[in-house]
Structure 1
Amino acid sequence: MLDRIVVRGARQHNLKNIDLDIPHGQLTVITGVSGSGKSTLAFDTLYAEGQRRYIESLSTYTKQFLERIARPDVDEVSGINPSIAIQQKNTARSARSTVGTTTEIYDYLRLLFARVGRTYCPNCGIPVVKQSADEVIDHMVDAHEGERFYIVATISTEDRKPSELLAELQKEGYSRILHNGDVMRIDPPPRGLRLKGRSLNLVLDRLTIENSRRARLLEAIESAYNLADGFVRFASPDSNITLDFTHHLVCTSCKKSFEEPRPLLFSFNTPYGACSHCRGFGNRMEFDERLIVPDPSRSIRGQAVEPWASEKFEYYYNRLIRFCRQSRIPLDKPFRALDPKHKAAILEGNDAFFGVIPFLEELREKSYKKYARFYTRRYLTFRECRQCKGGRLRQEAYYVRLSGQSIREVARMTPGEALAFVESLELAPREEEIAEDIVLELRSRLKFLLDVGLYYVTLDRLTRTLSGGEAQRINLANSLGANLLGVLYVLDEPSIGLHPRDTENLVKVLSELRNRGNTVVVVEHDLDIIQKADYLVDLGPGAGENGGEVLYQGALEEASSPRSKTIKYLREGLPLEDSKPMPSRCEGEIRLSGITEHNLKNIDVSFPLGVFSAVTGVSGSGKSTLVSDVLYNALTVGEANYTHAYKGIKGRDKVKKTMLVDQSPIGKTPRSNPITYIKAFSFIRDIFASQRLAVKRGYASGRFSFNVPGGRCNRCQGMGYERVEMHFMADMFIPCSECEGKRYGKETLEVTFRGKNLADVLELSVNEAIELFADHRALAQRLTTLKKVGLGYLRLGQPSTTLSGGESQRIKIARELAENIEGGCFYILDEPTTGLHVDDVATLLRVLRELVDRGNTVVVVEHNPQVIRQADHIIDLGPGGGDDGGWVTAEGTPAEIARSPRSHTGAFLKKLMRKSAKGAA
Structure 2
Amino acid sequence: YVKLLYARLGQLHCGKCGTPVIPETPGHVWKALKDFPRGSQVIITFPISLRAATYEQMRRELGVMGFTRLFLAGQIRSLEAWEPEKKDEELHIVADRLVLRPSERKRIMDSLEQAFHFGKGRLDLWIGPAIQRPAPRGDSGGAGRPARHLAFSSRLECAKCGVFYNAPLPSLFSFNSPVGACETCRGFGRTIDIDLDLIIPNPALSLEEGAIRPFGGRDDYRMEFDDLMAFCRRKKIPTKAPFHRLKKSHQKAIIDGTSEYYGIRGLFEWLETKTYKMHVRVYLSRYRSYVICAECGGTRFKEEALLYHLEGLHIGQIYAMSVDGATDFFKRLSIPSEDLASQMILDEVRSRLSYLREVGLGYLTLDRQSRTLSGGEVQRVALTSALGSSLVNSLYILDEPSIGLHPRDNHRLIRILKGLRDLKNTIVVVEHDAEIIRQSDFMLDLGPGAGEQGGQVTYFGPTSGVNDSLTGQYLKGKKRIPVPRERRRPKKSDWLTVKGAAEHNLKDIDVQIPLGLFVCLTGVSGSGKSTLAEEILYKGLKRAKGDSQGRPGSYRAIEGLEQIDDAVLVDQRPIGRTPRANPLTYTKALDPIRRLLASTDEAEARGFGPGHFSFNVAEGRCETCKGEGFEKVEMQFLSDVFITCPSCGGKRFKKEVLEVAYEGKNIDEILSMSVDQAISFFEDQPKVKVPLAPLRDVGLGYMRLGQPINTLSGGEAQRLKLSRYLKTGNGRPQFYIFDEPTTGLHFEDIEKLLAALHRVVRGGNTVLVIEHNMDIVKAADWVIDLGPEGGDRGGQVVVTGPPEKVAAHRGSHTGKFLKNYLSSRRGQKVPKASSSIVSQTLSDIDSAITIRGAKEHNLRNLTLSIPRQKLVVVTGVSGSGKSTLAYDILFAEGQRRYLESLAPYVRQYVKILERPDVDSVSGLPATVAIQQRISHTSRRSTVATLTEIYHFLRLLYSKLGRQHCPGCNRPLRKQTKEEIVDQIRN
Matched residue, 2:236: 328
- Which of 796, 801, 807 is the aligned partner of 1:887? 796
1:667-686 to structure 2, matched below 5 A, reads 667-685=576-594
Report if the CA contact (8 A) 2:734-2:765 is conserved.
yes
SS in 2 for 1:198: strand
SS in 1 for 2:294: coil
Report if the CA contact (8 A) 1:574-1:838 is conserved.
no
Q: 1:216 & 1:342 partners in 2: Cα distance?
A: 71
Report if the CA contact (8 A) 1:587-1:610 is conserved.
no
Q: Compared with structure 1, are the counterparts of its residues 485 and 321 closer, same or farther at alpha carbon in structure 2 (3 Å cutoff)? A: same
Q: 2:593 & 2:512 partners in 1: Cα distance?
A: 44
Matched residue, 1:842: 751
SS in 1 for 2:487: coil
Residue 459 (str. 1) matches residue 352 (str. 2): no
Report if the CA contact (8 A) 1:401-1:407 is conserved.
yes
Matched residue, 2:642: 733
Matched residue, 2:309: 401
Q: 1:592 & 1:648 partners in 2: Cα distance?
A: 8
Residue 801 (str. 1) matches residue 713 (str. 2): no
Q: 1:349 & 1:657 partners in 2: Cα distance?
A: 35
- Which of 361, 378, 389 is the aligned partner of 2:297? 389
User: Which structure has the larger Rg over C-alpha atoms?
Assistant: 2
SS in 1 for 2:473: helix
Displacement of 1:230 in angstroms is 0.8
Report if the CA contact (8 A) 1:590-1:652 is conserved.
no
The runs of 5 or more residues in structure 1 that have no matched partner are 1-107
The runs of 5 or more residues in structure 2 that have no matched partner are 132-145, 830-986
Identity across aligned pairs (percent)?
42
Displacement of 1:800 in angstroms is 0.8
Letter of the 1:898 counterpart: A
- Which of 525, 533, 540 is the aligned partner of 1:619? 525
Q: 1:319 & 1:680 partners in 2: Cα distance?
A: 49
Letter of the 1:284 counterpart: T
Residue 162 (str. 1) matches residue 55 (str. 2): yes
Matched residue, 1:379: 287
Q: 2:647 & 2:679 partners in 1: Cα distance?
A: 30
Matched residue, 2:917: none
1:743-754 to structure 2, matched below 5 A, reads 743-752=652-661
Displacement of 1:225 in angstroms is 1.3
Displacement of 1:157 in angstroms is 2.4
Range that drifts further, 311-320 or 851-860: 311-320
Q: Compared with structure 1, are the counterparts of its residues 289 and 771 closer, same or farther at alpha carbon in structure 2 (3 Å cutoff)? A: closer
Matched residue, 1:439: 346
Displacement of 1:411 in angstroms is 1.5
Range that drifts further, 280-289 or 235-244: 235-244
Range that drifts further, 497-506 or 253-262: 253-262
Range that drifts further, 302-311 or 889-898: 302-311
Q: 1:302 & 1:693 partners in 2: Cα distance?
A: 58
- Which of 513, 516, 535 is the aligned partner of 1:610? 516
Matched residue, 1:78: none
Displacement of 1:739 in angstroms is 1.3
Displacement of 1:575 in angstroms is 1.5
Report if the CA contact (8 A) 2:335-2:343 is conserved.
no
1:65-214 to structure 2, matched below 5 A, reads 108-121=1-14, 124-141=17-34, 143=36, 149-158=42-51, 161-172=54-65, 190-191=80-81, 198-206=89-97, 209=100, 214=105
Displacement of 1:475 in angstroms is 2.7
- Which of 445, 449, 470 is the aligned partner of 1:542? 449
Q: Compared with structure 1, are the counterparts of its residues 500 and 363 closer, same or farther at alpha carbon in structure 2 (3 Å cutoff)? A: same
Letter of the 1:305 counterpart: I
Q: 2:458 & 2:632 partners in 1: Cα distance?
A: 36
Q: 1:600 & 1:556 partners in 2: Cα distance?
A: 41
Q: Compared with structure 1, are the counterparts of its residues 425 and 684 closer, same or farther at alpha carbon in structure 2 (3 Å cutoff)? A: same
Displacement of 1:332 in angstroms is 2.3
1:326-725 to structure 2, matched below 5 A, reads 326-425=234-333, 433=340, 435-557=342-464, 559-562=465-468, 564-572=469-477, 575-583=480-488, 589-594=494-499, 595-638=501-544, 645-656=554-565, 658-685=567-594, 688=597, 700-725=609-634
Displacement of 1:835 in angstroms is 0.2
Displacement of 1:317 in angstroms is 3.7
- Which of 114, 117, 120 is the aligned partner of 1:229? 120
Q: Compared with structure 1, are the counterparts of its residues 772 and 918 closer, same or farther at alpha carbon in structure 2 (3 Å cutoff)? A: closer
Residue 792 (str. 1) matches residue 701 (str. 2): yes
Q: 1:746 & 1:112 partners in 2: Cα distance?
A: 66
Residue 869 (str. 1) matches residue 802 (str. 2): no
Letter of the 2:189 counterpart: G
Displacement of 1:199 in angstroms is 4.0
Report if the CA contact (8 A) 2:447-2:455 is conserved.
yes
Report if the CA contact (8 A) 1:590-1:649 is conserved.
no
Report if the CA contact (8 A) 1:149-1:235 is conserved.
yes
Displacement of 1:740 in angstroms is 0.7
Report if the CA contact (8 A) 1:667-1:673 is conserved.
no
Q: Compared with structure 1, are the counterparts of its residues 347 and 773 closer, same or farther at alpha carbon in structure 2 (3 Å cutoff)? A: closer
Say which structure, 1 or 2, has more relative contact order (CA 8 Å, 6+ apart): 1
> TM (normalized to structure 2)?
0.75
Displacement of 1:803 in angstroms is 0.7
Displacement of 1:898 in angstroms is 0.6
Range that drifts further, 622-631 or 792-801: 622-631
Q: 1:439 & 1:182 partners in 2: Cα distance?
A: 52
Report if the CA contact (8 A) 1:666-1:672 is conserved.
no
Displacement of 1:893 in angstroms is 0.9
Matched residue, 2:937: none
Residue 859 (str. 1) matches residue 768 (str. 2): yes
Q: 1:327 & 1:529 partners in 2: Cα distance?
A: 71
Displacement of 1:675 in angstroms is 2.6
Q: 2:539 & 2:72 partners in 1: Cα distance?
A: 75
Matched residue, 1:44: none
Q: Compared with structure 1, are the counterparts of its residues 139 and 517 closer, same or farther at alpha carbon in structure 2 (3 Å cutoff)? A: farther
Q: Note the aligned Cα RMSD (angstroms).
A: 3.4
Report if the CA contact (8 A) 1:403-1:426 is conserved.
no
Q: 1:370 & 1:704 partners in 2: Cα distance?
A: 32
Q: 2:700 & 2:297 partners in 1: Cα distance?
A: 49
Range that drifts further, 755-764 or 834-843: 755-764
Report if the CA contact (8 A) 1:655-1:824 is conserved.
yes
SS in 1 for 2:736: strand
Q: Compared with structure 1, are the counterparts of its residues 681 and 219 closer, same or farther at alpha carbon in structure 2 (3 Å cutoff)? A: same
Q: 2:53 & 2:341 partners in 1: Cα distance?
A: 43
Displacement of 1:497 in angstroms is 1.0
Q: 2:90 & 2:826 partners in 1: Cα distance?
A: 92
Displacement of 1:417 in angstroms is 0.7
Q: 1:342 & 1:891 partners in 2: Cα distance?
A: 45
Displacement of 1:754 in angstroms is 6.4
Q: 2:432 & 2:646 partners in 1: Cα distance?
A: 42
Displacement of 1:810 in angstroms is 1.0
Report if the CA contact (8 A) 1:399-1:406 is conserved.
yes
Q: 2:284 & 2:656 partners in 1: Cα distance?
A: 52
Report if the CA contact (8 A) 1:591-1:604 is conserved.
no
Task: Tell me the alpha carbon deviations over residues 398-440 of structure 1, each in whole angstroms, 9 at most, x when there is no partner.
Answer: 333222222222221101111111122355666x656312221
Matched residue, 1:293: 200
1:312-327 to structure 2, matched below 5 A, reads 314-327=222-235
SS in 1 for 2:778: helix
Range that drifts further, 415-424 or 752-761: 752-761
Letter of the 2:696 counterpart: K
> TM (normalized to structure 1)?
0.80
Q: Compared with structure 1, are the counterparts of its residues 232 and 828 closer, same or farther at alpha carbon in structure 2 (3 Å cutoff)? A: closer
- Size of the aligned set, in residue pairs, is 807
Q: Compared with structure 1, are the counterparts of its residues 841 and 120 closer, same or farther at alpha carbon in structure 2 (3 Å cutoff)? A: same
Letter of the 1:869 counterpart: K
Q: 1:537 & 1:902 partners in 2: Cα distance?
A: 37
Displacement of 1:207 in angstroms is 5.1
